[in-house]
Amino acid sequence: MRARILVIDDDRDMCELLQERLGAAGYEVSWRQQADDGVELLQEQDFDVVITDLNLDGASGLDICRRFKENRPNTPVIVITGFGDMTAAIAAIRAGAYDFLSKPIDMTLLEHAIERSLQQGHLREQVRRLKQAEVPPAETLGSLIGTSRAMRTVYDLVRRVAASDTTVLLSGESGTGKELVARALHEQSTRASGNFVAINCAAVPSELLESELFGHVRGAFTDAKADRQGLFEQARNGTLLLDEIGEMPLDMQPKLLRVLQERQVRPVGGNATFPMTARIIAATNRDLEGEVEAKRFREDLFYRLNVVQIHIPPLRARGNDVLALAEHFVQRFAGRTAKRIVSIAPAAQRKLLAYDWPGNVRQLENSMERAVALTRGDQIEADDLPEKVLSFDGWSRATEEVDLENVLTLDQVERRQIERALREAHGNKTRAAKALGIDRRTLYRKLDRYDGAPRAAAPRDPQQAVRP
């Protein structure tokens, strides 16, 4: 259907000119010379865009903007005037106008403004429909954003373990939002009124880490001029996040293990101990089982931390969550810079969805901050995105210089996907089958068909994964 445009201008020649030029561009144009007639027609019929003069006989275009926004808030209004200045432009925008153009009208600029306003209208309609069909509130959690199946699995696990004091290990690539999940666990628990304390084990020098965690007494070492409270004590009756736990030095690991086992903390240089009442959450982007096998991480500490494991999916596995997160970041950074940005252009959306985001949510956040800083209009365009995102072509990369003799068969592809799902699920066949979109019996039949082919090993600790 052709977009319908209503023109209101007391200059008949201008009305007829716009009707002719915009009609030739494919729009259906109606016009009125009186403000009241235009408002009445808008109440009787649906229009996609309204173009109104700023100065009309007996009425101001600004008053019309306000009246339109009261009656048809989703219909964009473009204001034109022969007396344009910045004050009038600002007044028009504040009155609800979508855009502001000066006479004589540049038809190219007007058509661009119409197209942008139509895109905004379509996006608003999509948002309205999504809100009507959106997942129930139970499918989101705290400040976490995303409704993909992968994230709903995370939400479910968080709710199931939040009420207990069980130690949780959060795994996932760098930048996936492990600290946000840890905060959600804290906020959903009975400890929500206590402190949430986080430490990055990779960011603290090994010689200071013990003092940071356990505290110290005066005189414990040269620079210990006063007693210092450690993070275990600061997180008393709250939650302590040990981020990047895989980076903890080997000589610190037995000391942490002792605290977890005995639930007692002794400050460096002190004789007295105090109860450890914090709930422990650890996070890592490393394969800790591989680190255990390589003798870089203690096996007994691994099992102490890995009572329940929650894997945070990479952004490339979260589908349209990419767009929801991008929109969230755009609005945040636009608010900080006082920019009026209403949407992300369809071409930019396609680029965002096509990219594989090796830096995950952190990289997306950085990219959208850049886009907000560079955009020249009220919409994020594809050209505002980083070059890596623009030039990414996953298909051509995947098929570049392919030797057809070495192309995998469909059976081999299926087998590799099953093995990958089992690895990601840490051997839990129920979770692997769910991720693959098949039932567990089908998965068992396919595994039997491989006649003893290598499979992902099941976890050695039966408590490693939460089983339905």
**Pairwise CA distance, residues 396 & 352, whole Å:** 17
Q: Is 59 helix (H, G, I), strand (E, B) or coil?
A: strand
Query: Can you give the residue range of the structural domain that contains 392?
Result: 315-399
On the question of pLDDT at 117 being above 50, the answer is yes
Which stretch of 79-93, 305-319, 368-382, 421-435 has the lowest confidence by average pLDDT?
Answer: 79-93
Find out whether 189 and 235 touch, Cβ atoms under 8 Å: no
Question: Which segment, 98-107, 121-130, 260-269, 436-445, is predicted with the most confidence on average?
Answer: 260-269
Q: Any residues with CB less than 8 A from the CB of 308 and at least 6 apart, and which?
A: 157, 161, 166, 167, 168, 169, 463, 465, 466
Same domain as 382, residue 348: yes
Confidence of residue 73 (pLDDT cuts 50, 70, 90): confident
Question: Do you know the residue count of the chain?
Answer: 468
Q: Which of 257, 285, 311 is the last residue of a domain?
A: 311
Same domain as 332, residue 294: no
More confident residue, 400 or 226: 226
Residues 128-155: what's their mean pLDDT?
69
231-281: per-residue pLDDT in tens? 999 999 999 999 999 999 999 999 999 999 999 999 988 888 889 999 999
Per-residue model confidence (pLDDT) at position 60 = 65
Q: Which of 282, 311, 340 is the last residue of a domain?
A: 311
CA angle 263, 268, 270 (to 5 degrees): 85
The encoded tokens of residue 466 equal 């939460």
Per-residue model confidence (pLDDT) at position 269 = 85
Residues 126-147: what's their mean pLDDT?
60
Confidence of residue 404 (pLDDT cuts 50, 70, 90): very low
Same domain as 37, residue 83: yes
Q: What's the gap between Cα 404 and its chain centre?
A: 38
Q: Is 247 helix (H, G, I), strand (E, B) or coil?
A: helix
Confidence of residue 458 (pLDDT cuts 50, 70, 90): very low
Q: Is 364 helix (H, G, I), strand (E, B) or coil?
A: helix
Q: Which of 311, 344, 363 is the last residue of a domain?
A: 311
Same domain as 352, residue 286: no
The encoded tokens of residue 379 equal 């919409």
The CATH number of the domain where 376 resides is what? 1.10.8.60
User: What domain count does the chain have?
Assistant: 4
Same domain as 387, residue 414: no
Confidence of residue 401 (pLDDT cuts 50, 70, 90): very low
Confidence of residue 86 (pLDDT cuts 50, 70, 90): low
**Pairwise CA distance, residues 430 & 253, whole Å:** 33
Residue 9 within any structural domain of the chain: yes
Same domain as 210, residue 275: yes
Same domain as 125, residue 33: yes
The encoded tokens of residue 63 equal 């008053």
Q: What's the gap between Cα 73 and its chain centre?
A: 28
**Pairwise CA distance, residues 407 & 409, whole Å:** 7
Same domain as 331, residue 291: no
Same domain as 326, residue 258: no
Same domain as 116, residue 96: yes
Residue 157 within any structural domain of the chain: no
Residue 22 within any structural domain of the chain: yes
Find out whether 63 and 113 touch, Cβ atoms under 8 Å: no
On the question of pLDDT at 114 being above 90, the answer is no
Residue 259 within any structural domain of the chain: yes
Residue 463 within any structural domain of the chain: no
Confidence of residue 84 (pLDDT cuts 50, 70, 90): low
